[in-house]
Structure 1
């Protein structure tokens, strides 16, 4: 969080810093939920700081993804005809981009959250898990406009929500949220002790874009490498999350959704998604325990 913010952002930060000191707060994600009012203030302050000084303000969160989708549609669908082998390839691409954006912003934002909020951490007796959680909620807030931009062309192409598809999309977001928050907790406390951890997180998220079936279909991986390598590829939880959201939105825009899902999506999609989500939740619990062991040393290192 910037300490040079002005206007509403500065007033919001001043309100947080003006809260009376109290004995050391209990820690843990449950305590973060209990203090949801303070969590809401932190989320609002972070969002205001991002658009501080702009004329359009939060409208940029709609304008930027809309322009991005238009560019991808023109490039992949019109110019180079990538969609000739797959229906509505631009939807395939943008659906993956939505969930990748949510994950990377949760991961990177969570990693930097303790360092960027050092002034609050040293003054307020709050559970420090609140800062990575707040960055996940900010990422979710910025993902909503992207979802709206995704849904509009889907509806125009004949997509209608179905129970299985919505369950797939929800499972994909749950998987990305649990994994992103777990990594955000681990890397945020590591970044306090060694700033190189933040650079490592940024480097890792760059690989995410190319390691998921977003700019290329899963069938390309399966055809090029076959078993068992395509199976190893599916061990990437973000690849699974992308496939789940594509099942929720992209397949419904094609002329025969059932055939599209059978051809372009792997078998056992839900079973693998549920397994990876469970593993991510276990990782989140372990990450929170590691965070709790190290957080007492965070103020002195900041």
Structure 2
């Protein structure tokens, strides 16, 4: 077993070194020239949370009335910022590093992976703030916290797969960047972040269940459920067999089946596989196109 790990380390040692340096460089360049530097990785989601809390919770009353909704909103904001930043930066990564591709020989996927990992570091800092605030915001920490890393890993795989697809397409079609901005806006409002799922479930229980089948919404809701509030935050698992009015329609009885809960996981796997496949197929021509 030791020999296997040794051979693996020797084979990918150069790639690992390049990956580490790119992650370090990308993360430092994000805040180069700013007075607060890396503190923006924490302040940015906090400021966004402040705006959302005042507008949607205080004025528009988008709340479920639970004591953990504000901290759940902060957690959702951090997680969404990771998805948005990771995919948007990943989309641009190959084109922005075109000069490096022509000068140094290394696996091209490292560029996209390093960019998404930089966003993961920002997410880690943001979640630390969420945990600290949770002690003052009625968060209920249980053994389910141990499940959070698995959901974060699933979310990262989803972001990485999406970034690989977008980075490949952007090399050939620059319109992808503008299209993705619109898609991100649509995705943001389709996920119960600024509004509780109970607001939708009261009048449209089927739509509420369909929202949870979104491969982006499912890990975000799972993280909020397991990290902050198992009692108040619904997930795709807890919503099975609880459709209420939806059971009256035979057309939607399939949403009451156990296998519905694994749809987001299947979608995540398919997106990651598609990203790896497309990137591997076209990455050899990146240097020529750029």
TM bracket (short chain): 0.7 to 0.9
What corresponds to 2:190 in structure 1?
211
What corresponds to 1:129 in structure 2?
109
Are 2:283 and 1:295 aligned? yes
- Tell me how far apart the structure 2 counterparts of residues 156 and 271 of structure 1 sit (CA, whole Å): 38
Are 2:147 and 1:175 aligned? no
Contact 2:49 2:77 in 1 (8 A): no
- Tell me how far apart the structure 2 counterparts of residues 273 and 108 of structure 1 sit (CA, whole Å): 28
- Tell me how far apart the structure 1 counterparts of residues 172 and 212 of structure 2 sit (CA, whole Å): 33
1:92 is aligned, of 55, 60, 72, to 72
- The CA RMSD measured in Å over matched residues stands at 2.8
2:126 is aligned, of 146, 171, 175, to 146
Q: Residues 81 and 88 (structure 1 numbering): CA distance in 2 closer, same or farther, change over 3 Å?
A: farther
TM-score, with normalisation over the residues of structure 1? 0.77
- Tell me how far apart the structure 2 counterparts of residues 111 and 263 of structure 1 sit (CA, whole Å): 29
1:267 is aligned, of 210, 230, 239, to 239
TM-score, with normalisation over the residues of structure 2? 0.80
- Tell me how far apart the structure 2 counterparts of residues 164 and 276 of structure 1 sit (CA, whole Å): 20
Q: Residues 293 and 285 (structure 1 numbering): CA distance in 2 closer, same or farther, change over 3 Å?
A: same
- Deviation track 1:113-153 (CA, whole Å, cap 9, x = no partner) reads 10111110111111111111011101111112211221122
What corresponds to 1:4 in structure 2?
none
- Tell me how far apart the structure 2 counterparts of residues 45 and 72 of structure 1 sit (CA, whole Å): 32
Contact 1:82 1:89 in 2 (8 A): no
What corresponds to 1:249 in structure 2?
227
Mapping of residues 17-166 of structure 1, within 5 Å: 35-76=15-56, 78=58, 82-83=62-63, 85-166=65-146
Contact 1:46 1:138 in 2 (8 A): yes
- Tell me how far apart the structure 1 counterparts of residues 204 and 24 of structure 2 sit (CA, whole Å): 46
- Deviation track 1:94-124 (CA, whole Å, cap 9, x = no partner) reads 1211211111112111111101111101111
What corresponds to 2:168 in structure 1?
189
Q: Cα offset for 1:233?
A: 2.3
- Tell me how far apart the structure 1 counterparts of residues 216 and 273 of structure 2 sit (CA, whole Å): 19
Q: How many residues align?
A: 264
- Tell me how far apart the structure 1 counterparts of residues 156 and 110 of structure 2 sit (CA, whole Å): 15
Contact 1:73 1:90 in 2 (8 A): yes
- Tell me how far apart the structure 1 counterparts of residues 208 and 268 of structure 2 sit (CA, whole Å): 21
- Tell me how far apart the structure 1 counterparts of residues 140 and 47 of structure 2 sit (CA, whole Å): 24
Q: Cα offset for 1:70?
A: 4.0
Contact 1:213 1:239 in 2 (8 A): yes
Unmatched runs of 5 consecutive residues or more in structure 2: 1-10, 242-257
Greater mean alpha carbon deviation, residues 210-219 or residues 33-42: 33-42
Are 2:204 and 1:225 aligned? yes
- Tell me how far apart the structure 1 counterparts of residues 185 and 129 of structure 2 sit (CA, whole Å): 23
Q: Cα offset for 1:79?
A: 5.4
Q: Cα offset for 1:184?
A: 0.8
Mapping of residues 5-24 of structure 1, within 5 Å: none
1:286 is aligned, of 268, 274, 287, to 274
What corresponds to 1:8 in structure 2?
none
